[in-house]
Structure 1
Amino acid sequence: MTTLRKKPFFGLTGGWLTFWITVACATDMSLFGYDQGVFSGVVITRDFLEVHDLVGPTKTNTLSTVTAIYDIGCFIGAIVAFTVGERLGRKKSIILGTLIMAVGTILQASSFSLAQMFVGRIVLGVGNGVNTATAPIWQTETSQLKWRGKLVVFEMMMNIAESPRWLLAHGREEEAIEVLSCLESKPANDPFIVTQCREINFSVRYERENAVRWRDLLRKRANTTKTLRRLVLGAGSQFMQQFGGINIMSYYLPTVLIKSVGLTEEMARLLSACNAVSYLFFSGIAVLLIERLGRRCLMMISTFGQFFCFLVISILLCFSESSAEREKYASASVAFFFLYYGAFGIGMLGIPWLYPTEINSLPMRTKGAAVATAMDWITNFVIVEITPIGIQSLRWKFWLVWTATNAAFLPILYFFYPETANRSLEDMDAYYRSNPSLVVTKDPDAICRKRPQKYIDHEASVIEKTAAGLNYPSDGTVSHVEQLEAEADKE
């Protein structure tokens, strides 16, 4: 009597398996955006302000902290993901984060005191910090190269497996091969699957043999994999996202429209809702452009658009304060608040979440993504904390600050950020093993949008030799992979 082996992942393979991973990650990331969208309306609601004793201009600082303390929780959650995420794996980390978020949500929804609201915001943030540090890695590591950017950006629009790279890094070869086989919808002994296992195993082994301890990152010692540089580039993308000014808008758009532009509360709420629709539209455009234009180009286009919008907003609000036609100039600025969201949505919305997962090596991917996420949340806290105070104290000059930061980011992106589009994660490891220059514009392969030919040729050569059954060096592969090679040779 033969026993039929149960198919993994409910029998899903290829595109359908990737689709359901994307649904899980997108749902997870939508909780992040939901808090921002809802709380921006809550902070101007009379009932909320009265129940929590936050009415009046003297309560501005406290209201800022109530809003921003969520980001401290997210920062803590990102650190939790860094410390335990690699041990738990991607799926279990997300389940843990979601459970913590559920507790925080209950605390907030039932709050009738400022103390409980603070606790609820922090707990909710911890769960979200775990999730936002984990979901982009899970999506990146399970996506085919041609879909990776689109799918991670799709997650940000929405603001069953384990990762095969995580499994191989933890010595679970059979499970990893099964996952790769299902994701690619190919047999386990297919030359492409065997080659993928070889490449991943080689990257894992090379990184471990050349790994740099945290305490050694700042020391002058040989670092053949450029761990610190990659860590800084990933965290830097999140820093630029936040100091590009997005969470002034995400948390306070109704407040901005009331205090800076002079609109009524009803009109501010209506325009904020309309803006959310246009924001979704522009973030959808990013899905179409992310692979075609690449990460570098979209980040630069996005940042220039943000710079331009803040410059025009500063000028118009300056005139609105000094001119007799205050209403005309203030109303004109509304269009550029909308355009700002469009500029942000096509690039800086999703890429800073994607980039750290692509630029960091496998052993540093969880740590690198967690550091980048922690950077996002701590800078997020600073922005959300200072915004109401800045608007109240500086008025139109507040917007000049963000004009300047976006202008400063443009040369940084141009000179120091390599392209990661249309590269496998192993391609990026190979690039950094070649000891590249800090200034990426010196190397055409580092900034081109298409996959460099040298990586295509290498992969084709390995697959061809594997398929031909030649004794190609395993570069760190383990016995189970070699068994699959033997099966491929027989066939």
Structure 2
Amino acid sequence: MIFLFFVLAAVPFYPESPRHLAKQGKLDEARDILLRCRVDPDPIKIDYEMEGIKEALRLEATSAAHSYYSMLFTKDKFHTRRRIILGGGVQVMQKFTGIDFIATYAPEMFTLSGFSGDEPALLAGGNFISYTASLALAIWLSDRVGRRKLMLSGSFLMGIVLIVGAVLSHEVLKYTDTDPAKSKQLGAGVVTVLYLYTVLYGSTWLTTCWVYPTEVFPLATRAKGTALATVAFSLAGGVINEIVPYLISAIDFYVFVLFALLNFAILVPVYLFYIETANRDLEDMDLLFSSESPFAWRAERQFADLKARNCGGLAAHEKMEDVKTDLA
């Protein structure tokens, strides 16, 4: 509760979103926030961004999908339903990567690796420290690499690591009775695999699964869309956490193989349907999702064509500003 009081004390000092201010008709305040937030606040680019925000608000006002029901069951020109599937899907898939079976049930996994007594709990604690530390890498990679590439590379590498973990776990069980010393050495290999897996997840999926849903929705439905994605996260987490203990009891080290296969399966929907959102304006999302095709590469192609046309508008705007400056 003490930390919640810190949050309550800090929130009043945070500025409102410029898009929210523009929606409330406070255009001057919105422009001021944009100027303060940009590293290089070029007034011409800020004016152009404000025009984009106002145009997005005008377009979104024509959409019929504003309630939870209409977002889920009404087809609109902004393809809000598709965005809900993507936003909720990324939250479900991040649970299927297997992070809960390692993070939540880490002591059990380290016990399967041949450790006993207090060792599994201590190793689990160390795993959480590396998990937290990997967030620094995630912050650095998120915009430089992009959401889509982080999801693809993360799932592929985690799948490979889990396959290695399955092989080592099999060997641990094989030598438990006949050669305890060798079993302990192999168990150390399993620990290394679990630590590496956690770092891979923390530096790729952990940030992406929370950032992506906030970026894909139109302004009018962003809060509701993000809420639905969070519901998907909670439901998937509940299911995974309920079944993992039974899986560990039933199939032992094959649980590594199961989640490795799920990671490889995740590569398919991410490659096919997930559009890159990094380093793009939120208003660009409406252009990206204006395509009738759900496939990412077709949406990107159409988006490039639309942006090429719009760039002419920015060039004309800058030229007009130059003319005004010369006249002044």
**Offset from partner CA, 1:54-90 (integer Å, 9 cap, x none):** xxxxxxxxxxxxxxxxxxxxxxxxxxxxxxxxxxxxx
Q: What is residue 307 of structure 1 aligned with on the other side?
A: 159
Q: What is residue 441 of structure 1 aligned with on the other side?
A: 297
Q: What is residue 341 of structure 1 aligned with on the other side?
A: 198
Letter of the 1:224 partner, please give it. Answer: K
Q: How far apart are 1:218 and its partner, in Å?
A: 5.4
Letter of the 2:166 partner, please give it. Answer: S
Q: What is residue 457 of structure 1 aligned with on the other side?
A: 311
Q: How far apart are 1:350 and its partner, in Å?
A: 0.4
SS in structure 1 at match of 2:118: helix
Does the 8 Å contact 2:65/2:80 carry over to 1?
yes
Q: What is residue 186 of structure 2 aligned with on the other side?
A: 329
Cα distance, 1:310–1:185 mapped onto 2, change above 3 Å: closer
Letter of the 2:33 partner, please give it. Answer: V
Q: Distance in 1 between matches of 2:301 and 2:258?
A: 35
Q: How far apart are 1:239 and its partner, in Å?
A: 0.8
Q: Does 1:419 align with 2:272?
A: no
SS in structure 1 at match of 2:138: helix
Q: How far apart are 1:338 and its partner, in Å?
A: 1.1
Q: What is residue 215 of structure 1 aligned with on the other side?
A: 69
Q: How far apart are 1:386 and its partner, in Å?
A: 2.6
Q: Distance in 2 between matches of 1:343 and 1:243?
A: 15
Q: Does 1:432 align with 2:289?
A: yes
**Offset from partner CA, 1:291-331 (integer Å, 9 cap, x none):** 23211111101011111122222222233334434434333
Q: Does 1:270 align with 2:108?
A: no
Q: Distance in 2 between matches of 1:362 and 1:385?
A: 35
Q: Percent identity among equivalent residues?
A: 29
Q: How far apart are 1:347 and its partner, in Å?
A: 1.0
Q: Does 1:172 align with 2:26?
A: yes
Cα distance, 1:217–1:446 mapped onto 2, change above 3 Å: same
Q: Distance in 2 between matches of 1:352 and 1:455?
A: 32
Q: What is residue 229 of structure 1 aligned with on the other side?
A: 82
Does the 8 Å contact 1:303/1:409 carry over to 2?
yes
Q: What is residue 139 of structure 1 aligned with on the other side?
A: none
Cα distance, 1:265–1:174 mapped onto 2, change above 3 Å: farther
Does the 8 Å contact 2:21/2:29 carry over to 1?
yes
Q: How far apart are 1:334 and its partner, in Å?
A: 1.2
Q: How far apart are 1:465 and its partner, in Å?
A: 5.4
Q: Which TM-score applies when normalising by structure 1?
A: 0.57
Following TM superposition, where does structure 1 have runs of at least 4 consecutive aligned residues deviating by more than 6 angstroms?
A: 488-491
1:291 aligns with one of 124, 132, 143: 143
Does the 8 Å contact 2:288/2:299 carry over to 1?
no
Q: Distance in 2 between matches of 1:203 and 1:331?
A: 55
Cα distance, 1:453–1:178 mapped onto 2, change above 3 Å: closer
Q: Does 1:404 align with 2:264?
A: no
Q: Distance in 2 between matches of 1:247 and 1:458?
A: 49
Q: What is residue 483 of structure 1 aligned with on the other side?
A: none
Q: Distance in 1 between matches of 2:107 and 2:323?
A: 65
1:318 aligns with one of 170, 190, 195: 170
Q: Distance in 2 between matches of 1:289 and 1:422?
A: 12
**Offset from partner CA, 1:375-399 (integer Å, 9 cap, x none):** 1122112222333333233322333
Letter of the 2:148 partner, please give it. Answer: R
SS in structure 2 at match of 1:161: coil
Letter of the 1:417 partner, please give it. Answer: Y
Q: Which runs of 5+ in 1 are unaligned?
A: 1-30, 32-94, 100-134, 136-159, 471-487
Q: Distance in 1 between matches of 2:186 and 2:158?
A: 19
Q: Does 1:363 align with 2:217?
A: no
Q: How far apart are 1:200 and its partner, in Å?
A: 0.8
Does the 8 Å contact 2:275/2:300 carry over to 1?
no
Cα distance, 1:446–1:409 mapped onto 2, change above 3 Å: farther
Q: Distance in 2 between matches of 1:288 and 1:411?
A: 26
Q: Distance in 1 between matches of 2:260 and 2:158?
A: 8
Q: What is residue 163 of structure 1 aligned with on the other side?
A: 17
**Offset from partner CA, 1:358-410 (integer Å, 9 cap, x none):** 11111121111111112112211222233333323332233332122112101
**Offset from partner CA, 1:322-357 (integer Å, 9 cap, x none):** 443443433321111011012212210101111111
Letter of the 2:295 partner, please give it. Answer: V
Cα distance, 1:364–1:469 mapped onto 2, change above 3 Å: farther
Cα distance, 1:186–1:278 mapped onto 2, change above 3 Å: closer
Q: Distance in 2 between matches of 1:312 and 1:459?
A: 54
Q: Distance in 2 between matches of 1:205 and 1:379?
A: 36
Q: What is residue 54 of structure 2 aligned with on the other side?
A: 201
2:248 aligns with one of 391, 396, 399: 391
Instruction: Identify the range of structure 1 (311-320 vs 212-221) with the bigger mean alpha-carbon deviation.
Output: 212-221
Q: Distance in 1 between matches of 2:6 and 2:274?
A: 31
**Offset from partner CA, 1:174-221 (integer Å, 9 cap, x none):** 33233223223788x933332222111111120120232543445575
Q: What is residue 248 of structure 1 aligned with on the other side?
A: 101
Letter of the 1:208 partner, please give it. Answer: A
Q: How far apart are 1:462 and its partner, in Å?
A: 6.1
Does the 8 Å contact 2:97/2:263 carry over to 1?
yes
Q: Distance in 2 between matches of 1:215 and 1:303?
A: 33
Cα distance, 1:257–1:162 mapped onto 2, change above 3 Å: same
Does the 8 Å contact 1:195/1:466 carry over to 2?
no
Does the 8 Å contact 2:115/2:184 carry over to 1?
no
Does the 8 Å contact 1:419/1:447 carry over to 2?
no
Cα distance, 1:256–1:489 mapped onto 2, change above 3 Å: farther
Matches within 5 A, 1:66-81: none
CA RMSD of aligned residues (A): 3.3
Does the 8 Å contact 2:288/2:303 carry over to 1?
no
**Offset from partner CA, 1:123-160 (integer Å, 9 cap, x none):** xxxxxxxxxxxx9xxxxxxxxxxxxxxxxxxxxxxxx2
